Amino acid sequence: MNILAPLHPAGWPFVSAFAVITLILSYFSTPLGLIGFVLTLWCVYFFRNPARTTPTREGLVISPADGLVVKIEDAVPPAELNWHGEPLTRVSIFLNVFDVHVNRIPIAGTIVKSHYYPGKFFNASLDKASQFNERNSLVVKTKDGVEILFVQIAGLIARRILCHVKEGSHVQTGQLYGIIRFGSRTDVYLPKGVNPMVCVGQRMIGGETVIADLLSKEPTREGALRP
């Protein structure tokens, strides 16, 4: 169960700080101590890092994050990546403060480009977040030479993006590579001609949900909200 998952190392300083503050508050006021205790539990929950079972068949592009697909559209990748081709299909995944916030590699290959952009902190669900917010962009090239672009984007509350891979790193599908602290967003850019296998409004499970299949010619999927 996710609630019993181990903590990501980046969470320990926050959990420790919340716990100390809770002890101090409890000394002066029981109600304040209870509030601090609840917030400490939430902090533990936020930084959970559950193991995931990743589909490993060649060609599959896996969701790099938990969250809700809020937008699927053609878009030019971030300017710092110096993309000179046509716009690509971008799948945007919004993470609220209750989602798992660790990020996982969407497809195996080699990191050929990495760029951190110190931007602003608009609400991550807004369109302009992809263009203006603080972000960390990565490009992974598969053994067949296909490039997949994916971007960690800070949100209104998020103030820190951590990325544990760099240019030249050889990575595996589903491999843990970073975390975004608090509300945020992750964008995945699919190669031209590759259709997403997910729909707007669908929930993603990072490291498990198949976003696209490089070997498939299936048309873009449509979805319907069911009560």
Q: Which residues are catalytic?
A: 184
DSSP one-letter code for 58: T
According to DSSP, the β-strands at 176-180 and 102-104 are antiparallel
- Cβ contact 197:213 at 8 Å: yes
Burial grade of 225 (CB within 10 A; 0-12, 13-18, 19 or more):
exposed
For the CA atoms of 28, 34, 35, 37, what is the dihedral angle to 10 degrees?
A: 110
Tokens of 187: 């964008």
Helix ranges, 110-218 (H): 129-132
Q: How far is CA 188 from CA 17, 25, 148, 223, in A?
A: 34, 43, 7, 19
Q: How far apart are CA 150 and CA 129, in angstroms?
A: 14
Helix then strand then coil, in percent of the chain rounded to 5, is 20, 35, 45
| Nearest Cα to Cα of residue 10 among 179, 165, 185 | 179
